[in-house]
Structure 1
Amino acid sequence: MPAPLPVTPDLIREAAARIRGFVRETPVLRPGLGCFGLDLELTLKLEHLQHGGSFKARGAFNTLLSQPVPAVGVIAASGGNHGIAVALAAQRLGAQAEIFVPAAAPAAKVERLRGLGATVHLHGANYAEALAASQQRAAETGALTVHAYDQESVLAGQGTLAQEWEQQAQLDTVLVAVGGGGLIGGMAAWYAGRVKVVAVEPFTAPTLFAARQAGQPVDVAVGGVAADSLGSRRIGELAFPVTQQHVATVVQVDDEAILSARRALWQQCRLLVETGGATALAALLSGQYQPQPGERVGVLLCGANTDPATLM
């Protein structure tokens, strides 16, 4: 008998009720046969149109709405998108936010954070170093920590995306990009085997692939074009058992496939996403994931916090 999972459909339903009115129901797009050169029934979930430019708003609002927020506010570490979501939720709910991001975080994301009124700390060379600094700061101030992916309320919030998508489209398979695992953990907990969940991650940030090989979360070296959003050093402890039970396979893609998918989304659908947001589609366009005849495939476009000038 499998061990109980840290996130359940009931927790996701509760999160959906809690965050209703604070997040958008994002649309789906059916590009049509032949789009991207694919002969299949494809559905794109346009979550990059979410408040804050990514799915992260769901977990951030669920966390802040599900527990008391101290007067000193909230604190988070992020490659950018999670920090934007936390800052957005804090601003909406009247709380202060401190966000720690790596020194190399994209300027577009740092500017957005400051525009939302957050105190931004540029610290360290990667997410792990920014996280350590944020944890030390939280211990000093007593601020509420909102983890980017390894927190029950965050996973439940991200799982509301799958609940919403299931109401919009009948799918056999969904392709989801993986960083720390909060998104795919929450979504897989909702689908619970009823829909095949395929994890997609860059070769240069193989957190879930390496964990599956080791049988447990392990540290990996991260880099590549999508590192600012998918560059967690290890898969989350909460998400990993969910992925073990309910994620069918892990597909890896290279940087050129990610960049090519990003360009294709703009050229063929006029959809502007960040590199992490295009990673799931890259699995299809590169042939790393090959659907069966008649398979109804959904691809999640998960983030759009990017500088349009970097598209070409």
Structure 2
Amino acid sequence: MITPDDIRAAHARIAGRVRRTPTMTLAPETFGTPVPVAMKLEFLQVTGTFKARGAFNTLLGSPMPAAGVCAASGGNHGIAVAHAATSLGIPARIFVPEISSPAKIARIRETGAELVVGGARYSDALAACEAHAAATGALSVHAYDAWPTMAGQGTVGIEWEEDAGGLDTVLVAVGGGGLISGIARWFDRRVKVVGVEPEGSCALHAALAAGGPVDVDVQSIAADSLGARNVFARVHATAAAYVDQVVLVPDAAIREAQKRLWLGLRAASEPGGAAALAALLCGAYRPSPGERVGVLACGANVDLAALAAAVDAS
């Protein structure tokens, strides 16, 4: 299992390659939350998500084969690996499923990396990626089930704690669980870490209930970023030890959170990036009076037309 020292080392390794994103303390009236929130604005990260942290940490800390790297992704991890690889002069092939949003597919293509679109779900793209790695010797960069990925994502926690000290609780959206694993390992039980998953895509919640990783069905508006069918052993072990609880939110609450992020902060968030805020808005997580709460806003690779429709519909 990764340690806080691994996360500190990752933070030093990726310095200059990623942004130190800001944290803003926002009053309850900003979004209609029951308490003020210390919001980590990770949607301002290069490539639009926290994923760049894990991608750079993996590539900079790994021996690189001649075949370069490959990655399977719902979109954001692929964007991050493609960006990191091309900026380091490394060949990259990215595999994405057909459910990936056109906006994310376009961003991968813009990097110049090779793109393969196929399969109905992330698991299909992962199988194709693993077959490519086996055939060519390329380094497969997993979106979440890898210690270097987790350590890179955990660097979010370092900055959050330094910029908003004294937090009691942080809310973190969960897809495959690499982000929450890294953050929870950094906070090391000093701060309560609460995972937030869509009701229709809840692999970590199911794994913790079952006592081990299990496959789940995935049906959610956030499936292109929070759509992992299984969190696998590394994430389960870390979350079981360091994550306090996982709550579930309906798609309607995620849409409402997207709208309020736009109206309150003029932040264009994809559904997965708004899920943590949704937990406060719909009451899936109810803070105690005076509880100091952090919310991670973690993804901006949104289809702007879809976001505009969601805002206008309200």
Distance 1:38 1:145 in 2: 40
- Secondary structure (helix, strand or coil) at the match of 1:174 reads strand
Is 2:101 the counterpart of 1:71? no
Equivalences for 1:28-177 in 2 at 5 Å? 28-170=23-165, 171-177=167-173
Q: Aligned letter for 2:229?
A: R
Q: Of 257, 264, 268, which residue of structure 2 is paired with 1:268?
A: 264
Contact persistence 1:197–1:248 (CA under 8 A):
yes
CA distance in 2, matches of 1:98, 1:134: 8
Deviation at 1:116, TM superposition (A): 0.2
User: C-alpha offsets along residues 96-117 of structure 1, whole Å, 9 cap, x if unaligned?
Assistant: 1100000221111111101001
Deviates further, 27-36 or 8-17: 27-36
Unaligned runs of 5+ in 2: none
1:224 CA drift (Å):
0.9
Give the distance between the partners of 1:251 and 1:174, measured in 2 at CA: 12
Instruction: Give the aligned partner of residue 184 of structure 2.
Output: 188
Once residues 298 and 116 of structure 2 are traced to their aligned partners in structure 1, the CA distance between those partners, rounded to angstroms, is: 25
Q: How far, CA to CA, are the matches of 1:32 and 1:213 in structure 2?
A: 35
**1:304 matched to which residue of 2?**
300
TM-score, normalising length: structure 1: 0.97
Q: What's 1:211 paired with? A: 207
The SS at the match of 2:214 is coil
Q: CA RMSD in A?
A: 0.9
Does the Cα contact within 8 Å between 2:218 and 2:229 map onto a contact in 1? yes
1:236 is displaced (CA, Å) by: 2.9
What per-residue deviation string (whole Å, max 9, x for no partner) do you get for residues 19-47 of structure 1?
11111000112222422223422111000
2:237 aligned residue: 241
SS in structure 2 of the partner of residue 129 of structure 1: helix
Spell out, residue by residue over 1:186-241, the C-alpha distance to the aligned partner (whole angstroms, 9 max, x if none): 10000010000000000101111111111001000112100000000111311111
Q: Distance in 1 between matches of 2:150 and 2:121?
A: 22
- Given the alignment, which residue of 229, 245, 259 partners 2:255? 259
- Letter of the 2:173 partner, please give it: A
1:225 corresponds in structure 2 to 221
* Distance of 2:34 and 2:245 partners within structure 1: 22
Matched residue SS, 1:175: strand
Query: What letter is aligned with 1:296?
Result: R
Matched residue of 2:83: which SS? helix
Structure 1 stretches lacking a partner, 5+ long: 1-5
SS of 2:268's partner is coil
Contact 2:142 2:149 in 1 (8 A): yes
Moved more, 16-25 or 34-43: 34-43
Query: 185, 188, 202: which one pairs with 2:198?
Result: 202
Letter in 2 for 1:164: E
> How many angstroms apart in 1 are the aligned matches of 2:87 and 2:189?
35
What code does the residue aligned with 1:85 have? A
- Secondary structure at the counterpart of residue 275 of structure 2: helix
Q: Give the distance between the partners of 2:61 and 2:223, measured in 1 at CA.
A: 30
Partner of 2:18: 23
1:285-296 equivalences in 2 (<5 Å):
285-296=281-292
How far apart in 2 are the matches of 1:249 and 1:66?
Answer: 32
Contact 1:175 / 1:197 at 8 angstroms: preserved in 2?
yes
> Which of 138, 151, 175 pairs up with 1:179?
175
Matched, 1:282 2:288: no
Structure 1 residue 66 displacement after superposition: 0.3
Kindly indicate whether the alpha-carbon contact (under 8 Å) linking 2:34 and 2:280 is maintained by their aligned counterparts in 1: no
Report the secondary structure of 1:224's partner residue: coil
Amino acid aligned to 1:139: A
Runs of 4+ in 1 over 3 A off after TM superposition: none
User: Alignment length, in residue pairs?
Assistant: 307
CA distance in 1, matches of 2:26, 2:189: 26
